[in-house]
Every structure is written in structure tokens, then in C-alpha cells.
Amino acid sequence: MSYRELFVSAQPTITNVVQGKDPVVYTLGVPYDVTTSYRPGCRFGPNAIRDAFWKIEVYDPELDTDSEKIPVQDLGNLDPMPKPEKMVDAVQKVVSELVGESKRPALLGGEHSLTFGSFLAMPKDATLLIFDAHFDLRNELYGWKLSHGTFLRRLSEKMETGRFVHVGGRAASKEEWDFVKGRGIRHLTSREIESADFERRYKNILSDIHKVYVSVDLDILDPAFAPGVGTPEPGGISSNKLLYMLRQLKGKEIAGFDIVELDPAYDHSGITAIAAASVFSTLVSVSSLKRAT
């Protein structure tokens, strides 16, 4: 062992080289928050998640995984590009390249608009499983056609909405609720997550899913658990419940995932970054349990 291996760590990038093993995920930061509608600052999210990852316990007794021992390669951060169309185009190209090389992307946001580019690069048989307080189904937001509040509407113009599953919704316009119901988009609201038969309903939704891209907007969590987000909404779920739902993906083929909307400027206690790092650790663990094809 060299002194470099002994004394130098990969921090703050999340890289863990395991000799003889291919990385389970390729981490890509997207420090982008130009279309943010409320509190700016989530461009600082990717590095805050990386920093927190090295501070938390990552052995998961339920999955029997230790994400510090799972090979991960960090690609760094996407270059700054203010126009949302340029950003999503670059994300789509980079993610397509990774998918073409059978490499699984793990994106750290940045605002939710990045999912538009990332999911367009996914295989056609992948389901988009979204955890979010918002539906992001507006046709336009503050003049932006492509923004963090419209990305799912833009995706719905390019593919069947049967590919979407939405979990945690509670804050949207009447038009968005009507769109969800009118298109029959499978969903569980944050109120339904608190109901007695939630586990059965959630497992029932998952039973149809084989290959999945997971998009976690941290504002699915109640602001008590995650104050450091761009657009906090009361009435959210606990981090415990979110991690439970992510662990239930064990056995699914994870095509890729993203964790978005962390805003360190409003995360004074650092708990939102820690929650994001736990989400990252859990999704890396679940990803490691089944190979992508």
C-alpha cells in the first residue's frame, strides 16, 4: 500500500475504487439553479451532498450493504451553462453516453429540470419513479417553458404518461391535479402515504415496475426534516418513510437516479444534506443488488 492510499482520501468527490470491480454508479453533479422559482442556491447542492456522504454511517442492516465498500466513480460537475435548454441537452448527451457504455448514472442536483435531460436518455422500458411534493406539470412558470416546475409536463409531450409514477404530491395547481387525474398518472399523495394501507398500496404500485429511474426531490420531505430546499412545502413525509420506500426497490433494476433541489444556503443545521447523503447511500446500495442490463 502506498502512502497516497494510506493517507489521502477522495473527498469531496464520491469515488471508491475497488480493485477488479466496475463502479456500480457514476456520480455526476449538475450545479444548476437558473429557473428556480423561490429560493436560489441549489447549484451548491452537489458538493454539499458529497461532503455529507463522508460524515454519515452507511452500513444498512436491512439491506446488509455498506455503500463505502461499493465501487463508485465520481465524474465531477457539469460545466456552467445558464440556458436550461443547453443544460438539459448536455445532461442528456452525457447520460446517453454513460448508458451506451452500460454505466449507471447517479446525478446530484441542482434543480429538478435536469431530470428532463436525464430521463430522455433512459431506455424505453424504464419507469420514472418520482418522489416530490410538486407535480412539476405546469405548462409554463414565470415565462419559462423549460423549468424545474414544468419538466414533467415537457416529458409528457415526448412519451406516454404511463411511464410515470409520482409519490408524495401535495403542492400543485388545480390544473396539475386535473392533469394527473385526466391522464391517469399513477400516484400516491403525501396524505395517502400516512394512511393505514399505505404499504400495501406502495408495494402494489412497485409490483408492475422492473426497470426504474428514481428521481428524488428532497422537498418530498417535510420541512422539519429537510428545511434546505428551494421550494419547501408543509405536510411532507419523514426521512424514515422515504428511506423505507427506497429500500423497497431492492430487486428492481435501477437504470439510474437523481437527487435534486438541495439548497445549502437554507440548510443551516446541515440536516437536509445529511438526508440527501442517506438517500444517495441507500440508492447506491439498492443499485448494487441487481446489475443493469
Q: What residue ranges bind Mn ion (CB under 5 A)?
A: 132-134, 217, 219
Q: Which region holds residue 142: left if phi is over 0, alpha if psi is between -120 and 50, else beta?
A: left
**CB of 75 or CB of 237, closer to Mn ion:** 237
Taking CB atoms, the residue at the shortest distance from Mn ion is 134
Q: Is 174 exposed, middle or buried (0-12, 13-18, 19+ CB in 10 A)?
A: exposed
Rounded Cα distance between 170 and 172, Å, is 7
Q: What minimum distance in Å lies between the beta carbon of 126 and Mn ion?
A: 21
Partners of 215 in the β-ladder: 130, 258
Q: What minimum distance in Å lies between the beta carbon of 143 and Mn ion?
A: 19
**CB of 132 or CB of 253, closer to Mn ion:** 132
**CB of 132 or CB of 222, closer to Mn ion:** 132
Q: What minimum distance in Å lies between the beta carbon of 116 and Mn ion?
A: 14
Q: What minimum distance in Å lies between the beta carbon of 169 and Mn ion?
A: 9
**CB of 169 or CB of 256, closer to Mn ion:** 169
Q: What minimum distance in Å lies between the beta carbon of 17 and Mn ion?
A: 34
Q: What minimum distance in Å lies between the beta carbon of 219 and Mn ion?
A: 4
168-174: long-range contacts (C-beta < 8 A, 24 or more apart)? 168/131, 168/132, 168/133, 168/193, 168/220, 168/236, 168/237, 169/132, 169/133, 169/134, 169/135, 170/133, 170/233, 170/235, 170/236, 171/133, 171/134, 171/231, 171/233, 171/235, 172/134, 172/135, 172/137, 173/138
**CB of 14 or CB of 283, closer to Mn ion:** 283
Contact 254, 289 (CB under 8 A): no
**CB of 24 or CB of 214, closer to Mn ion:** 214
How is residue 197 written as a grid cell? 394501507
